[in-house]
Structure 1
Amino acid sequence: MTTVDWHRLTHAYGRADDIPGLFARLGGTEDDSVWSELWSALCHQGSVYDASWAALPTLAEIACGRAPGGPADALVLAGAITAYAEDPRRKVYEREIGELLAVGRGLLTDPGIPAPSFVIFLQSVLAFEGAGVWSEALEGVNSEEYEVECPQCTEGLFVAFGRYGTFVSAGDYVTGPGADAATAGRGELTPARPDRLTGVGARLYGEAVRAGQPAVAEALTHVFGQGRCPSCDTAFSVAELVAEQWV
């Protein structure tokens, strides 16, 4: 950190000369609040800054256990910073991204990891790999839904695959017009057959199976399955719409 001219860099709130002090506070009882401040400054609502990228070497040090702080916290923040695969600054921090990728892959093999954490770590791995939209869009697996737009009638749809069931809703499926499963406000959601998955779908499904994450694997069959719009009966690939419409 001594080689970084922090006062010349900026983050969400202006000059970044407070970042070294925040990192110096890690490793004690304040960690939760410090990480909250780091997230707010370096990845504010998904936006990143020159100071965000300059923080990657320190985040890699923490993730690798060479500096105090939570390795998982450092990994996830670094993943969010590097999520945009086309950012030219990735090349500058290629070594650090490689280290972070190795840590992330190691965390995915932890047999005791909760499913939501597994998804978050998998997002980080995808970010370090420069895998594109799914490094961010995969968060829908944890929220158990995606919002998409019908490619035919442009109806706003919810694709749900969780505690409320598996279906496509043309309205709020908790309290709104899509809440009643017997109404015309719902369409079918057909999961993909695992043996027919290809590309990123096959890769993500395989990661979940190998890690002993059956709930995540099942959710992914719906994410890469086929939905049907309840308003116009148009069939669509859920994953394709997510990839096209995710911003």
Structure 2
Amino acid sequence: MVNWTLMHDCYGDVDRVPVLLERVELGDDAEAWEELGYRLVLENDLVFPAGFAALPRLVRLASRSARARGLAGVILRRAAGHHGCDDLLTACGDAIAEFRKLLDRHLQARPADYLASFLDSLAAKEEYHWSAVLGDFTDDFYHLACPHCAVEVTIAIGDHGRYSAIRDWHRGDVNRRDLRPVSPGALSGTGRWMHRTAVRDGQEVLADGIAHLFGRAECPRCASVFNIADEYTSANRPVLRQAR
């Protein structure tokens, strides 16, 4: 049982969120959903104790409510931040596991919000980094330092091409080198899950983009070859919650 007297929202209130949850559980109350959204999560990536306290109830609604599914996903995508609610998030373990299953079923239906649900699935797996940065590979750019010569390399994956380059703000991307996509059989861990899921669900552009993202690039300056995902992850992975 949640002690709501301890669960403040973004305004510091402790009594409004449970009232709103009761309203949306009774029916699709658009005004209540809108108020829940801005009370639980702010646009600057902050999530409040009431957000984690509400998560199990949102997950229970998610099978029949796109609003509940979306709000639960937003809360989880921001769970890597410095929210001070580690205990509350840990207590949501069963609900998050159920949410992963629900999202997987939703993805198999090839919904219009496929990418958003795919990113929510990554967050539910605690892959907060990829959940935050993965695009649809129509116009994606990733910037990282070459692990050998430290020059900043631009990785492009999209309709414009699939290459590594040095970005020149006057001349554009220069000294382009074609990326080397990974063989699906060589993928492991998160990359394998991402690629297999996209292939299973007929998301060809997403699957091809993932194969390139987890492939290898040549540095345009020193010609060394490196794994794109490994280097980008090491430079950009957020600081995760500390185990107690």
Deviations 1:121-166 (A, max 9, x none): 2222232233463343434757622222222333333211112211
- In the alignment, which residue of structure 1 is the partner of 2:242? none
Change (3 A) 1:164 1:33: farther
Structure 1 match to 2:198: 208
Give the counterpart letter for 1:96 in structure 2: A
Q: Which residue of structure 1 aligns with residue 241 of structure 2?
A: none
- Does the 8 Å contact 1:190/1:226 carry over to 2? yes
After superposing on structure 2, the runs of 4+ consecutive aligned residues of structure 1 that deviate more than 6 Å are none
Provide the rounded CA distance (Å) in 2 between the counterparts of 1:214 and 1:55. 35
Contact persistence 1:158–1:170 (CA under 8 A): yes
Paired with 2:99 and 2:167, the residues of 1 have a C-alpha distance of 40
Equivalent-residue separation in structure 2 for 1:153 and 1:12 (angstroms): 45
Counterpart of 1:179, as a letter, is G
Instruction: Give RMSD over aligned pairs.
Output: 3.2
Q: How does 1:35-74 map to 2 (within 5 A)?
A: 37-38=38-39, 41-42=40-41, 44-65=43-64, 70-74=67-71
State the identity as a percent: 24
Taking the aligned partners of 1:148 and 1:140, their CA distance within structure 2 comes to 19
**Residue 121 (structure 1) aligns with:** 117
> 2:172 aligns to what?
179
Q: Tell me the residue number matched to 2:77.
A: 80
SS of the residue corresponding to residue 157 of structure 2 reads strand
Matched pairs, number: 231
Please name the residue that 1:107 is paired with: 106
Structure 2 residue identity aligned to 1:188? D
1:98 aligns with 2:91: no
Compute the displacement of 1:104 (Å): 0.7
**Residue 190 of structure 1: SS of its match in structure 2?**
coil
Q: CA deviation at 1:11?
A: 4.0
Provide the rounded CA distance (Å) in 2 between the counterparts of 1:142 and 1:7.
Answer: 46
SS in 2 for 1:208: helix
Aligned partner of 1:199 in structure 2 is 189
Q: TM-score, normalized by length of structure 2?
A: 0.77
1:224-239 matches, within 5 Å, as: 224-239=214-229
**Residue 169 in structure 1 maps to residue 162 in structure 2:** no
Q: Counterpart amino acid of 2:73?
A: V
Can you give the 5+ residue segments of structure 1 that lack an aligned partner in the other structure? none
The question of whether the paired residues in 1 share the 8 Å contact of 2:61 and 2:68 is answered with yes
- How many angstroms apart in 2 are the aligned matches of 1:59 and 1:150? 43
Q: CA deviation at 1:81?
A: 4.3
Distance 2:138 2:74 in 1: 17
- Is the 2:139–2:157 contact (alpha carbons within 8 Å) kept by the matching residues of 1? no
For residue 12 of structure 1, report the CA deviation from its aligned partner: 4.2
Cα distance in structure 2, aligned partners of 1:126 and 1:69? 18
Stretch deviating more after TM superposition (27-36 or 191-200): 27-36
